[in-house]
Chains A and B, each alone.
Chain A
Amino acid sequence: MKFCDILKRKEFVVTCEFCPPKGTDLTEMLQKTELVRPYVDAINVTDNQRARLYPSSLAVSRILKERGFEVICHLTCRDRNRLSLQSDLLGVHILGIENILFLSGDHPLLGDHPESKPVYDLDVSQLLRTASHLKEGKTLSGKKLQNKISLCTGAVVNPEAEPQELQILMMEKKIVLGAEFFQTQPVFDVDKYRKFYDRVKGFGARVLPSVLVIKSAKFAKNMSKVPGIKIPEKYIKRLERAQNPLKEGLKIADEIILALKEFSGGIHIMAPGIEENIPQLKI
């Protein structure tokens, strides 16, 4: 089912994300997805997350789709030119994947192949426009396709990045170009997110704020180095003091989830490597 239809049907929507394994054995990942199945409406599959090499998001999305999950396949502009992006979008349609999230993608300099050539032939705005062309049955260069493709297209917004006004302008632009839903970078400052949310809720595209489960102080400090992620010192201190940091991390996530639930139409859970704990959260 299209994620847009799920959003229309449900008042509160929960998604979570899985990064494919560093290799080709999906056993552990598939076990974890079974654990979260009752709690989530769709699973995001990341695409060479943090500019590090993993198996294709398309392939892994298809495997999850076969197992009856609704999937949101990530597609970054970092590793593909316009030919490859369109080819993958047609491929996504053939594979029966109905939802796609467009991201520019962390720069290769931040990943595990820093020497690689960054592509960014199209940016996310241009990719959204390109997807609209494919949905109308034509390519970016105006050539006619056999058929139209059907896709629910999403994009990312970072509510905590300053200047926030610029993020809001980008969001408006992406909606005009075809973004049907948004997922955010991890939210830790709910008051700030709420102000952002109040500004954008009338835009006509649902926004799912992300909640990142921080399992230890070390993990939190590392994640703070990831572009777009700001973890307040108070949470890091709590993890440092905690007897059981994971438990404390889940508690922090629950606090954020409860605060978000007061107004948000859903959440997106990020629990990298510890997805088996998602069922414990108050979602």
Chain B
Amino acid sequence: MIVTIEKDFAEVLKVTKEEDNLFIFGCAGCATLCQTGGEKQVKELGVKLESEGKEIIGYSVLDVPCDERIVRKEFRNNSSIRNADSIIIMACGAGIQSVQKFSPIPIHPVLDSLFLGTIERIGKFYNYCSICGNCVLEDTQNLCPITRCAKGLLNGPCGGMNEGKCEVNSELDCVWVLIYEAMEKKGNVNNLKLFREPRNWVQSFVFKSE
């Protein structure tokens, strides 16, 4: 899922300074799982904004805002949105841009999208995938060096690796050590000597898929 965090409330007040009547969109998908844009967080933000003198015209937790069909339908069916000066959107960057396509009024993103990862429990997320379009997991024991190596190195660890940890953060596992240990268990550490070609970035510039 897309892991998001909330921006500072001061930031939310700043971007809505000129607007009194607000509508809030949440996300029933990832942002609900992250507890950053589910029904509870949408209502909580509404209460906080009301205490700052704003009027909340309404809210809707979209299922899910990154599906443009759902967003289009919401704007068609929910006439109260038109009474708002702007929309606060509690979703990832994809959700925000999907809403942007159909909204006749200004929209304000209030979450920062961090990464595509897994959730162990609330507040404990792991950055595991860079959605790079060149999956190497088959060759790397299903541990992604593009994402989990701070330098995205494809041919093994750098000299900063030590005691299995990363030079950037000593609490962070060096993914190449994890890969090495997994290969060791299978008796094929020599696979580390195989050369991996530089990453092809062309896939990152695919803007649309028909």
Contacts and interface: CB of A to CB of B under 8 A. Distances in A.
A104 B158 contact: yes
Most buried by B among A107, A140, A163: A163
A129 B158 contact: no
Interface string A125-159: 11001000000000010000000000000001110
A109 B154 contact: no
A163 B150 CA distance: 18
Nearest to B153: A123
A279 interface: no
A173 interface: yes
B26 interface: no
A160 B163 CA distance: 10
Nearest to A103: B159
B134 interface: no
B180 interface: yes
A161 interface: yes
B7 interface: no
A255 interface: no
B193 A169 contact: yes
A176 interface: yes
A109 B10 CA distance: 27
Contacts of A125: 154-156, 195-196
Most buried by B among A104, A110, A140: A104
Contacts of B203: none
A63 interface: no
A162 B163 CA distance: 5
Nearest to B167: A227
Contacts of B28: none
A245 interface: no
B155 A126 contact: yes
A122 interface: yes
Contacts of B153: 104, 120, 123
A163 B156 CA distance: 12
Given A161-B162, A163-B180, A120 B152 contact: yes
A166 B153 CA distance: 14
A104 B159 contact: yes
Contact of A158 (B152, B154, B155, B159): B159
A228 B165 CA distance: 11
B123 interface: no
A118 interface: yes
Interface residues of B, number: 29
Contacts of B197: 126
A121 interface: yes
Contacts of B199: 121
B157 A118 contact: no
Nearest to B157: A166
Interface in B135-190: 150-164, 167-168, 176-177, 180, 189-190
B141 to A, nearest CB: 14
Interface in A78-108: 78, 82, 103-104, 106-107
A82 B162 contact: no
A170 interface: yes
B192 interface: yes
Contacts of B154: 123, 125-126
A124 B177 CA distance: 17
B198 interface: yes
A78 to B, nearest CB: 8
A163 B159 contact: no
B193 A173 contact: yes
A102 to B, nearest CB: 11
B139 to A, nearest CB: 14
A265 to B, nearest CB: 21
Interface string A167-198: 00110110011000000010000000000000
The residue among B156, B159, B163, B196 with the most chain A CB atoms within 10 A of its own CB is B159
B148 to A, nearest CB: 14
Given A109-B150, A162-B164, A126 B157 contact: no
A165 interface: yes
14 contacts: A107-B167, A109-B150, A122-B198, A125-B196, A158-B161, A161-B161, A163-B177, A165-B189, A166-B157, A169-B180, A169-B189, A170-B155, A172-B193, A173-B195
Given A156-B159, A158-B161, A166-B177, 5 more contacts: A120-B151, A124-B158, A125-B195, A157-B159, A166-B157
Interface of A: 77-78, 82, 103-104, 106-107, 109-110, 118, 120-126, 129, 140, 156-158, 160-163, 165-166, 169-170, 172-173, 176-177, 185, 227-228, 230
